[in-house]
Chains A and B, each alone.
Chain A
Amino acid sequence: MPVVRTDDAAKRLRYIYLGPSNWRLPVDVRFPSLGMFLVLCIFGWLLSFSLTPTFRLALVFCVGATIIAGLVTKKVMKHVDHDRPIRYWLAVIRSELSTPRPPADQRSHRR
């Protein structure tokens, strides 16, 4: 009998953006990473403009928020792959929030 395989090898591939055709980005950007980075950036910028009194200071905060968004994206996306897409982690968070908790006298658990 010939060797058989799953369809994983093809399904596992994800779009990667390397940059415009004549300009290579320094990193390989996965689309989910790009999406997450943009969402975090926009959130950070909005926060910066709403919480800072001056436009100049807000711009400084925006730069900081962008850097933080990049670092958070990098950190988080280490845990995102074909088997565990972002939807998976959202589902895990939902699952964890809806899980019945132990009685008070047994809450000494540490993972």
Chain B
Amino acid sequence: MRLRRRKEQPKRATRPASVAPTPDPVGLSAHAIHGHLLTAPDGTWAWFRLGPQQWRFKSATERAAILDASTIRWADLAGYRVHLRRTAHPTPWDVWARKLDRATPHPLPTGPGAPSWPDYLVGAQTRIHEMGARTPTTYLGVRITGRRHSPDELAQITDYRHGNTNTTIIKTRDSLEKVADTIRKEGFNGRPVTSRQLGWLIHASVGLGVPVSVDSLAGDADGWLPHQMTDFSNPVRAYAPSLASTTTLHVLRNGDEHQRHVAVLEVGRMSDRDGTDPSRDPWMAHSDRMPFPVEWSAMFDVLDGPTTAGSAEFTRRRAESLEEHYREHDETPPPAVGRGIEDAVRIEDEVNEGDREVAVRLTGPIYAAVSAETEHEAKKWAGELASAYSLHEKIALHHGYGQYDRYRAFIPGELSPAIGFQRWMPAYYAVTAVPNVASRIGDAEGPYLGMNGHSAVFFDPTFGPRNRGSGLVLIGGGLGSGKSSLGGAIAEPAARRGHRVVIFDPSGPLARLCDLPHLAPNAQHVELSGAEAGTLNPYWLVPQPRAGDFSERGYQAAVREADAERRDLATDALTMLLPPQVIERNAAAAAAIERVVNACGGSYATNPWRVVRALEAGNDVEREIGGMLRSVATMKGASLIFPADEHAATVEGTDSLPDATLTVLTMRGMVTPPTGVERAHWNRAERMAAPVLHLAARYAMRAMYADQAPKVILTDETGIIAAGASSFRSFLNRGALDSRKNNAMFGVLSQNPAHLLKIDPEIVNIVGAAFWGRATDEGAAAAALRILGVPDGHGYEKVLRNLEHGVGDFVMRDWHGNVDRVRIDLGWRPDLLDALDTNPPDPTVSTYDERAWTDELVVDS
């Protein structure tokens, strides 16, 4: 053959390149499509799309329930042939951008030269496209009959309006109804595809790895007739040299010619597995971890117990006779024979005596495909995929010959090669593939936040409140986990959308957001340390409820509640200003403050001096406390609590926050109370800081009540925790409830999950969404899991502890309660990344010119 080809080559070389023979377009076996029905040479198929199955961060019990439900669904499909196709839809970034733009009627105006809102949208779309964002999707085709129905008959099968007396049509329709009913149920949660979706799948399968153009789907709304089926195959030419390891595709889409090389691998030996093991992915979904897209195709015959009983008996007898033959020769059979007999006995028992779902077997080949622009890359990726599966899933993937036929096995309606690499597995093993594992997290409405594997994550800060949920968002993690960067990554796009953003960042790095050119004209940095005396008066930090938000009875209750909260806040703040020894040694002191504060009432904008004067007019203990408070009232920090005018009812100019779109409140120079050190050991500055930091957080919170427009409030936990449990609990409760009423995201940056749980064990019930970065130890990881709503003790602590440091790796719980890993993506925003970098400069990077130093040492001799 080779010699003959060499002789022919010179003749062909004489032909002009333009008339060189090219392969014919890929011919499809599918005959016609109507709705979700497709006629193929081996019968009529119905195609469905399986619903996303939440899997990650589920407990073993929940996972077992999911697997059980799926096993029953497979058992329901016994007797049918199925074609499972796992592919990935590209993220529709253009649709997302249009939607986000529509939801942003008043973006922040920017000055000349500064990046505008449209610039953001274009940049985000480009980034999503560059990242190859996609969503894994699973389709399931079921052969509902072995009869090839004509296009007219397909229409009659799905037309329920008119009765039909044709028994063939009636039988097929009955079969379709049974299959559709099965696939709709828990375990598959599927629904019939539209003809457009089926068209997309065929296009995507014929041109593996090539984007499907929208124009190519603009066919008949009901489907494709036989003469229209060439729409799928005409722009695709596939070929492969003899014994090639890839199939080459030439695809014409949207006027562009694409060339892809497709390598198909066959699934070989598969290891034993515990489907609920959290340390292992579902075996089909593991391919999502690969840096390139992987397509799956499995063609199974679903066989019930009686059908496989004969085969099971034959297998057992064969194994036993093999052992006997070895014994005849006085030889010990290899261990594989013993294992084979053990397995054969189990199989025979299951198919004969087991329950229906235990008896059902799936048999057929399973293929995985990768496609790349060059043959070298396709082969390399195929090798990497096989290596990853061998290492992590203990599944052998073989890259063999006959690539063209195996490529065709991905196309709906094609016949399976069906020889070699036939897998036999019980349904309860097949379900551990969980092909429809969900990778969706976040919402499809907000700005682009990052990636979850290969899926883009969008996060709208006010999605929760807008949908009657809590707006409380907890952002946590150890030092350097990227909490501040994440806070900034949420706040910055919100400000660009024109939403009001207020950030309380005591240490101040986030103030650099105010310097970004596109935010600067509408941003204000407020340094609270130098604010006017009385700015943090506890009595006006809890706003008066709005009558319109409540019923008449509810309003009265809300007013009483606000009144009590002001008194709590004032009591806590004033108590914290006193040396702890005074409170500890004299139990009457704390009671005295509480008594006098209650006597003064909790009406809005009460002057705290009134409490001091009342104390000074009281008994000896009260007088002593009053004197102490008067003496500290003018000290740094405490002066923010007490207005300059002892008799003023309100402090003019301090009852509202600045009018800027972005406001960053800082308290530089304020000493942070140490965590883990008893209050008795705090110095005076630390003692003063505790109530002030807390009240400053409440001050930021006031922005929530300004109006009903969407807004974002971010605050650091430092001061809140220092203020004590009761204040903290009421702070979070108010944040959760009022954020919902006022269309606000109320974000709290935290470092210690155990501390949060200690103060409020039920915190998970009021959290709308949460992000948690790398946990430093097992205890912190377990506590963080509880905040994320994930059951602890199932091995997920390890996931939190192994999150990567400093790259924005978080576990996220979204507004719907879905939990998964996300990586915050700021790589496309160097300006924002610089502004949010709170890490000190790397000491290993020296700006010192070593050469100059060396030169200095050179001494002329």
A interface residues with partner B (beta carbon < 8 Å) = 1-13, 15-19, 21, 24, 83-85, 87-88, 91-92, 95-96, 98-107, 109, 111
Q: Is the interface of A mostly helix, strand, loop or mixed?
A: loop
Do B336 and A6 have beta carbons less than 8 Å apart?
no
Of the residues A4, A8, A95, contact of B269 by C-beta under 8 Å: A8
The residue in chain A whose Cβ has the minimal distance to the Cβ of B269 is A8
**Given contacts A1-B67, A91-B417, A95-B405, A101 and B398 within 8 Å (CB-CB):** no
Q: Which of B314-322, B592-600, B645-653, B708-716 contacts A (4 or more CB under 8 A)?
A: B314-322
Do A10 and B315 have beta carbons less than 8 Å apart?
yes
Q: Which of B338-346, B791-799, B816-824 contacts A (4 or more CB under 8 A)?
A: B338-346
Q: Which chain B residues border A111 with CB–CB below 8 Å? A: 243-245
Q: Which chain B residues border A84 with CB–CB below 8 Å? A: 400, 420-421
- Distance, CA A85 to CA B341, complexed state (A): 21
**Given contacts A12-B340, A91-B417, A95-B401, A1 and B347 within 8 Å (CB-CB):** no
Residue contacts A-B, CB under 8 angstroms, 26 given: A4-B432, A7-B425, A8-B423, A8-B424, A9-B336, A9-B340, A10-B344, A11-B315, A13-B340, A17-B325, A21-B328, A21-B329, A83-B266, A84-B400, A85-B419, A99-B240, A99-B247, A100-B238, A101-B23, A101-B240, A102-B239, A103-B239, A104-B13, A104-B15, A105-B20, A109-B244
Do B336 and A96 have beta carbons less than 8 Å apart?
no
* B447 at interface by CB-CB < 8 Å: no
Of the residues A7, A13, A15, A102, contact of B240 by C-beta under 8 Å: A102
Do A10 and B331 have beta carbons less than 8 Å apart?
no
Of the residues A8, A19, A106, contact of B329 by C-beta under 8 Å: A19
CB distance from A27 to the nearest CB of B (A): 13
Do A103 and B64 have beta carbons less than 8 Å apart?
no
CB distance from A97 to the nearest CB of B (A): 8
Q: Which chain A residues border B480 with CB–CB below 8 Å? A: none
Q: Which chain A residues border B315 with CB–CB below 8 Å? A: 7, 10-11, 13
B810-835 interface (Cβ within 8 A of A): none
CB distance from B437 to the nearest CB of A (A): 17
CB distance from A108 to the nearest CB of B (A): 9
> B268-282: contact bitstring with A at CB < 8 Å (1 yes, 0 no)?
111011111000000
Q: Which chain B residues border A16 with CB–CB below 8 Å? A: 322, 325
> B255-291: contact bitstring with A at CB < 8 Å (1 yes, 0 no)?
0000000000010111011111000000000000000
Q: Ordered nearest first, which 5 A-B pairs have the shortest CB separation?
A: A88-B420, A95-B402, A100-B23, A109-B241, A10-B344
Of the residues B12, B321, B336, B421, contact of A104 by C-beta under 8 Å: B12
**Known A7-B424, A8-B425, A18-B326; further 14 A-B contacts with Cβ < 8 A:** A1-B67, A1-B274, A3-B272, A16-B325, A83-B268, A83-B421, A84-B421, A88-B420, A95-B405, A99-B240, A99-B403, A102-B239, A102-B241, A104-B12
The residue in chain A whose Cβ has the minimal distance to the Cβ of B5 is A107
The residue in chain B whose Cβ has the minimal distance to the Cβ of A2 is B274
**Given contacts A10-B344, A13-B336, A4 and B23 within 8 Å (CB-CB):** no
- Distance, CA A100 to CA B407, complexed state (A): 13
CB distance from B803 to the nearest CB of A (A): 27
The residue in chain B whose Cβ has the minimal distance to the Cβ of A108 is B241
- Distance, CA A99 to CA B406, complexed state (A): 11
Do A99 and B269 have beta carbons less than 8 Å apart?
no
* B705 at interface by CB-CB < 8 Å: no
* B428 at interface by CB-CB < 8 Å: yes
The residue in chain B whose Cβ has the minimal distance to the Cβ of A19 is B329
**Given contacts A1-B64, A4-B426, A102 and B23 within 8 Å (CB-CB):** yes
Q: Which chain A residues border B804 with CB–CB below 8 Å? A: none
Do A85 and B275 have beta carbons less than 8 Å apart?
no
* B404 at interface by CB-CB < 8 Å: yes
* B548 at interface by CB-CB < 8 Å: no
> B487-528: contact bitstring with A at CB < 8 Å (1 yes, 0 no)?
000000000000000000000000000000000000000000
The residue in chain A whose Cβ has the minimal distance to the Cβ of B406 is A95
CB distance from A89 to the nearest CB of B (A): 8
- Distance, CA A105 to CA B13, complexed state (A): 8
* B100 at interface by CB-CB < 8 Å: no
Q: Which chain A residues border B328 with CB–CB below 8 Å? A: 18, 21
Do B419 and A91 have beta carbons less than 8 Å apart?
yes
B interface residues with partner A (beta carbon < 8 Å) = 5, 9, 12-13, 15, 17, 20-24, 60, 63-64, 67, 237-245, 247-248, 266, 268-270, 272-276, 315-316, 318-319, 321-322, 325-326, 328-329, 331, 336-337, 339-344, 347, 361, 375, 398, 400-405, 417, 419-426, 428-429, 432
- Distance, CA A90 to CA B747, complexed state (A): 65
Max chain A C-beta neighbours (<10 A), residue from B347, B402, B417? B402
The residue in chain A whose Cβ has the minimal distance to the Cβ of B423 is A6
Of the residues A12, A21, A96, A106, contact of B242 by C-beta under 8 Å: A96
Of the residues B13, B339, B401, contact of A9 by C-beta under 8 Å: B339
Do A6 and B420 have beta carbons less than 8 Å apart?
no
Of the residues A10, A92, A104, A106, contact of B343 by C-beta under 8 Å: A10
Do B402 and A96 have beta carbons less than 8 Å apart?
yes
- Distance, CA A55 to CA B444, complexed state (A): 85
CB distance from B25 to the nearest CB of A (A): 10
- Distance, CA A109 to CA B374, complexed state (A): 12
Q: Which chain B residues border A19 with CB–CB below 8 Å? A: 329
- Distance, CA A87 to CA B422, complexed state (A): 12
Do A7 and B347 have beta carbons less than 8 Å apart?
yes
- Distance, CA A21 to CA B401, complexed state (A): 40
Of the residues A4, A99, A104, contact of B273 by C-beta under 8 Å: A4
Do B23 and A91 have beta carbons less than 8 Å apart?
no
- Distance, CA A102 to CA B239, complexed state (A): 5
CB distance from B115 to the nearest CB of A (A): 45
Q: Which chain B residues border A21 with CB–CB below 8 Å? A: 328-329
CB distance from A56 to the nearest CB of B (A): 35
Of the residues B322, B343, B420, contact of A7 by C-beta under 8 Å: B343
Do B400 and A92 have beta carbons less than 8 Å apart?
yes
Do B426 and A13 have beta carbons less than 8 Å apart?
no
Q: Which chain B residues border A13 with CB–CB below 8 Å? A: 315, 318-319, 322, 336-337, 340
CB distance from A52 to the nearest CB of B (A): 27
Of the residues A4, A83, A100, A109, contact of B272 by C-beta under 8 Å: A4
- Distance, CA A86 to CA B361, complexed state (A): 25
- Distance, CA A85 to CA B419, complexed state (A): 8
Of the residues A2, A91, A99, contact of B404 by C-beta under 8 Å: A99
Do A95 and B417 have beta carbons less than 8 Å apart?
yes
The residue in chain B whose Cβ has the minimal distance to the Cβ of A99 is B404
Do A18 and B331 have beta carbons less than 8 Å apart?
yes
Q: Which chain A residues border B275 with CB–CB below 8 Å? A: 1, 4
CB distance from B250 to the nearest CB of A (A): 9
Do B401 and A7 have beta carbons less than 8 Å apart?
no
- Distance, CA A111 to CA B261, complexed state (A): 13
Q: Which chain B residues border A99 with CB–CB below 8 Å? A: 239-240, 242, 247, 402-405
Max chain B C-beta neighbours (<10 A), residue from A5, A99, A105, A111? A99
**Given contacts A1-B276, A8-B424, A105-B20, A88 and B419 within 8 Å (CB-CB):** yes
Q: Which chain A residues border B322 with CB–CB below 8 Å? A: 13, 15-16
Do B67 and A100 have beta carbons less than 8 Å apart?
no
The residue in chain B whose Cβ has the minimal distance to the Cβ of A88 is B420
CB distance from A88 to the nearest CB of B (A): 3
- Distance, CA A24 to CA B330, complexed state (A): 10
Of the residues A15, A92, A103, contact of B23 by C-beta under 8 Å: A103
Do B402 and A92 have beta carbons less than 8 Å apart?
yes
- Distance, CA A3 to CA B432, complexed state (A): 11
- Distance, CA A4 to CA B266, complexed state (A): 21
- Distance, CA A82 to CA B322, complexed state (A): 16
- Distance, CA A109 to CA B351, complexed state (A): 48
The residue in chain B whose Cβ has the minimal distance to the Cβ of A90 is B419
